[in-house]
Structure 1
Amino acid sequence: MKRTLLPTCLLCVAVLAGCSTSAGTGEIPSSMAPQSEPPANELPGVEMWQMTCRIVDGAESGTLLLAEGEDGVYNGTGIYTFAVGDTPVWIDGEEKTAADLVDGMLVTVYWNGMVAESYPAQLGEVYSLRAERKDTDDRCGLYLQVLEDLWEVDSGLNTDLEELAVDFSELTDLSESEKDALGWVFGNAHGLMPITGTWEELVEQGYIDGEELLWNGNGCLFTLSGSADDTFQADKWASGLGAYFFGDCTAQMGEDGSWTYAVGSEAIS
């Protein structure tokens, strides 16, 4: 379905189980306290919340796009923007800076529990970010590269688009929030708010004429399915006579969490 920009307002997030500080003490439960670095709560008397997020994009610029884990505000479906600035950053127990963060890194965010409900949502005051390099897995970056490579080949299928749709429903190795973030980054890169839906759903919603096999307007549907751990496929569909396919794609993750891939076969319709 088409994304709708929500009115911006501040939401005081409900207490996440096991994540709030002890009322009025500024102390965090021992189960939350990092073992090899200063306590996460460096502001005595300040109540804070935490959640785990994946950095999907923006590490290089310092304005992060984060996909929340299941312990997040929206139970694993939310995405957020956050400008790191001089926020304390700890990686592998050592004090670092925003420049040391990389896309794909899994970070624990300690913040004041406030969220501005724009899309993507915006975090309130963030007190620190904590990460370990071993948890870096930039498969969102892998799929973004695949989508951009697919965009470039037979580019006439996606020239002057009015509607950009994505279908990641059969992609098995990303969470719902990561899929959402991936679609947003891809759409934003091309100046469009992505529509999320399968081909059949787009027909039902009136974007595609299912009998004539044409978009009602100038649109293109980009689809990813499968898994980087096995094989995956990518295709773009502009009409019954206008489509391009990457098949039997394989990928490999490097020691730093980045990925490379190879296309097994290509086809055109």
Structure 2
Amino acid sequence: MKRLVCALLGLTLCMGVLAACGPGDSSGGGSSSGGGSASSSVPDGSSSGGSAVVVCRIIDEDDGSLLLAKQDGGSGDVYRLDASGLPVTLEGESSAADEIESGMLVEVCYDGGVMETFPAQLGSVTSINVRSEGFDDLAELYLDVLEDLWEVDSGLNENITELGVDLSGTRLSAAEQSAVAWAFGEEHGLAPVQGTYEELLEQGYITGEPLEGSDAKFYQWADGCLFSIREKESKVAFSLPTVQEGEDSPLKDYHVSDTVTFDAQKWRSGTGAYFFSDCTSVRGSSGEWSDYQVGGEAIS
């Protein structure tokens, strides 16, 4: 009899945990009812009735596979999650996983366990709630910039076995920087090494050979290439794309709420580098960043 009572209590507790994580429960990461902004009453990463909720930004999405960066998290707070088959809510309404996009903030309800791989994996995820506010796809914009740098003057990064990524000069959080670096490396079959030029030099990735008859050194990364983006004070006006008479501008209804200006480069050696300078993008009121314009290009 005692075993039966314990079993019934255990079953009751399990049902309570599942209910707390259901897509319609605001205490377990579900959306609030109505058309207002969805938010969780459970603090980020805290437990509630045996469950936990973590708030993340979607950095990359590929056929239901999500690369997530914990909101305001550290460099190790990057998660991989298969959203296919999971209950998803969007603005309080049931939704499908294919409605999820890079840049969205999501609340993930899971059992509180984390598998310490990289990217990490959340244990027993039961639901995903997409927040209606907080959309920002700057990480996706910078991932596009890195890909464009990879393609231009491709001989600089041909046959490299090490990939350096430095996003420390951007407004991305530490977790977002790590997630972008990982997505970039994953695209090219390389594990990224994060660090500034000075840090990579100190760690021995970049080496310097003395120049004959001089105290100067020739610096290079023999096995790798360093890709970096650094934001700067905006000094360049963003011009609207040229359109033909009678056509609507693609930014006609684009209400600018922010701008970003940055330089981007890939560096292999003192005589092998490529630069995008004074790049500019504008952010609409919805949080979406426009395609960036390059102010100038240079090669070393």
Q: Same fold by TM (over 0.5)?
A: yes
User: 2:33 is matched with which residue: 28, 36, 57?
Assistant: 36
Whether the 8 Å CA contact 1:161–1:219 is kept in 2: the answer is yes
CA distance in 2 between counterparts of 1:161 and 1:106 reads 34
Q: Partner residue of 1:212?
A: 218
Q: Verify: 1:225 aligned to 2:230, yes or no.
A: yes
Q: Is the 8 A contact 1:49 1:110 kept in 2?
A: yes
More helix by share: 2
**For residues 30 and 128 of structure 1, do their structure 2 counterparts lie closer, same or farther at Cα, with a shift above 3 Å needed?**
closer
2:60 to 52, 57, 62: 57
Which has the higher relative contact order, 1 or 2, with Cα contacts under 8 A spaced 6 or more apart?
A: 1
2:293 paired residue among 221, 245, 262: 262
Please say if residues 68 and 76 of structure 1, whose CA atoms lie closer than 8 Å, have aligned partners that are also in contact: no
* SS state at 1:260 partner: coil
In 2, the alpha carbon distance for the partners of 1:256 and 1:203 equals: 37
- RMSD over equivalenced CA pairs, Å: 2.9
Deviation at 1:193, TM superposition (A): 0.3
CA distance in 2, matches of 1:75, 1:162: 26
Give the fraction of aligned pairs with identical amino acids, expressed as a percent.
44
Residues 94-152 of structure 1 deviation map (CA, whole Å, 9 limit, x = unaligned): 00010111111100111111111011001111121111344321111100110111111
Q: 2: CA distance between counterparts of 1:208 and 1:264?
A: 29
One of 180, 183, 191 as aligned partner of 1:182? 180
Alpha-carbon offset, residue 29 of structure 1: 8.5
Alignment length (residue pairs): 239
Unpaired runs of at least 5, structure 1: 1-21
Q: How does 1:191-210 map to 2 (within 5 A)?
A: 191-210=189-208
- 1:23 positional shift: 11
Q: Deviations over 1:135-184 (max 9, x none)?
A: 3211111001101111111111000111110111111x211000000000
Counterpart of 2:69 in structure 1 is 67
- Pair 1:111–1:40, CA change in 2 (3 A): farther
Whether contact under 8 Å (1:56, 1:67) holds in the other structure is yes
Distance 2:28 2:87 in 1: 21
Deviations 1:65-88 (A, max 9, x none): 000013xxx667500001012111
TM-score normalised by the chain length of structure 1: 0.80
Cα distance, 1:51 vs structure 2: 1.4
